[in-house]
Amino acid sequence: MKTKKTVSKEIENIVAFYESLNEELENFSLPLEKLIQSKILISEKMGGKIAGIAGLGDKNLLFLVVKKEFQNQKLGQKLLAKVITLAKHRKYHFIALNVFASNVRALHIYKKFGFKIVTSNIMNSRKNYFMVLPLDLRGCIYEALLKLYFKCELYFVTHLYYVRRLWLSVKNFIEHKTKMR
């Protein structure tokens, strides 16, 4: 069992790792306070130093970052596999995440592990995907309901746009006709 001292030492190491991030922050923007409070927080070491961290924060949102010099050595996938196993053990129903469409490496591993795109939006002027990985039946239902919700939202937003345009044309036509009298 880990003692309080080893746990706080590990947190210190994670804080030092977080503070050493630089280029990686282009695709990773979780505030340190949120990271420390996350429900699941794990790390992978290389040569005794933390090379990457991953976990689950608020609303089961996944975070994952590997230090530049250790990327492309399967560490990201190792961390992701561990988070999924832990989440299953703790009986979470699903894992969700946000990933920029341009982050092809992250997107590749998320799809490889079974995450599905539920919707897309624009975040900080960049295209972003919201992805979900169901872990049990309730997770599958949640994913299906979310997909339905976003489809309906899209339907109403597009159709309301046309209804509004039609209404404006009718209004303009009436105004024009009244002026001509």
Ligand X SMILES: CC(C)(COP(=O)(O)OP(=O)(O)OC[C@H]1O[C@@H](n2cnc3c(N)ncnc32)[C@H](O)[C@@H]1OP(=O)(O)O)[C@@H](O)C(=O)NCCC(=O)NCCS
Residues near ligand X (CB under 6 A) are: 24, 27-28, 64-66, 71-77, 97, 99, 103-106, 108-109, 112
Closer of 51 and 135 to ligand X (Cβ):
51
Beta bridge partners of 130: 98, 119
How many whole angstroms separate alpha carbon 13 and alpha carbon 69?
Answer: 18
In whole angstroms, the minimum distance from the beta carbon of 51 to ligand X comes to 9
Residue with CB nearest ligand X?
76
How many whole angstroms separate alpha carbon 50 and alpha carbon 72?
Answer: 16
How many whole angstroms separate alpha carbon 39 and alpha carbon 96?
Answer: 14
Closer of 43 and 71 to ligand X (Cβ):
71
In whole angstroms, the minimum distance from the beta carbon of 80 to ligand X comes to 8
In whole angstroms, the minimum distance from the beta carbon of 35 to ligand X comes to 13
Closer of 28 and 150 to ligand X (Cβ):
28
Closer of 127 and 159 to ligand X (Cβ):
127
Closer of 27 and 43 to ligand X (Cβ):
27
Kindly tell me the burial class for residue 150, based on how many C-beta atoms sit within 10 Å of its own C-beta (0-12, 13-18, 19 or more).
middle
Q: What is the secondary structure of 50-66 as a DSSP string?
A: EEEEEEE-GGGBEEEEE
In whole angstroms, the minimum distance from the beta carbon of 107 to ligand X comes to 7
In whole angstroms, the minimum distance from the beta carbon of 77 to ligand X comes to 4
Beta-carbon-side half-sphere exposure of residue 172 (alpha carbons within 13 Å): 6
